[in-house]
Amino acid sequence: MKNTILLLAPALMLACASPKSSVNSASSSASTSTTRKADGWQMLFNGKNLDGWKAAENPATFSVQDGAIVVFGPRAHLFYDGPIGNHNFKNFEWKATVKTMPGANSGMFIHTDYQETGWPSKGYEIQVNQTHTDWRKTGSVYAVQDVKEVFVKDEEWYTESITVQGKHVTIRVNDKVINDYTEAETMTGTKKLSSGTVAIQGHDPKSKIFYKDVMIRVLPD
């Protein structure tokens, strides 16, 4: 009888412990899953490497350091080429936490396509620039609807977000709308809204910029 009790004891302990562990695990998993679905944001950059991204012209311009994409080097563009949305977005919100160093120039491209060299010929560039000599500053729909005012300082992290809905583009800096652009129905050529991937610009060898928390939320058509 004593031996039987000793043999049953571990099984009883496991039976008591298992449901609690299983419930906690399931609850945690469900909570995480619900948060993701309710929020809708998906990470484009994993904070460790450039998996899912494709660099053109001068790939060495882009590196990863301390959880951020470091942009520093000759002209280059880093295109999202990963599985989310099959890297082809129409209506969406795209945002990143950004830090510019003094004199830096960069950009966040929308509705663009990968190309080997040169400035992307498709889609729009949303400017990233506080103190570069180019007068078009952060939040400009570059050379289409430009912003002259500066809203943040170099060497400080800030959030830049872009919402694309139909013919309408809204740019926010630290959640403040700084540019609201509606494309004319008569717009022609490739530099217009359509659909495509997103990209980050390396502008010149003197420009150094950091991007982290790069994410997208796909919106209904």
For the domain that residue 175 is a member of, what is the CATH number? 2.60.120.560
Pairing verdict, β 124-128 and 106-112? antiparallel
With a CB cutoff of 8 Å and minimum separation 6, the contacts of 54 are 78, 79, 80, 81, 114
Judge contact between 173 and 138, C-beta under 8 A: yes
The number of angstroms, rounded, from the C-alpha of 47 to the middle of its chain's C-alpha atoms is 11
Does one domain contain both 20 and 116?
Answer: no
Which residue is it, tokens 């904070």? Answer: 47
Residue 6 shares a structural domain with residue 58? no
- The predicted model scores a pTM of 0.83
| 8 A C-beta contact, residue 207 and residue 132 | yes
Pull the structure tokens for residue 5.
């009790």
pLDDT, tens digit, 9 for 90 and up, residues 72-128: 999 999 999 999 999 999 999 999 999 999 999 999 999 999 999 999 999 999 999
Q: Which tens digit of pLDDT belongs to each residue from 20-37?
A: 333 333 333 333 333 344
Number of domain units in the chain: 2
Q: Do 11 and 81 sit in the same domain of this protein?
A: no
Q: Judge if 104 and 157 occupy the same domain.
A: yes
Is 156 a residue whose pLDDT tops 50?
A: yes
Domain containing 21: what range?
1-39
Say yes or no: 204 and 180 in one domain: yes
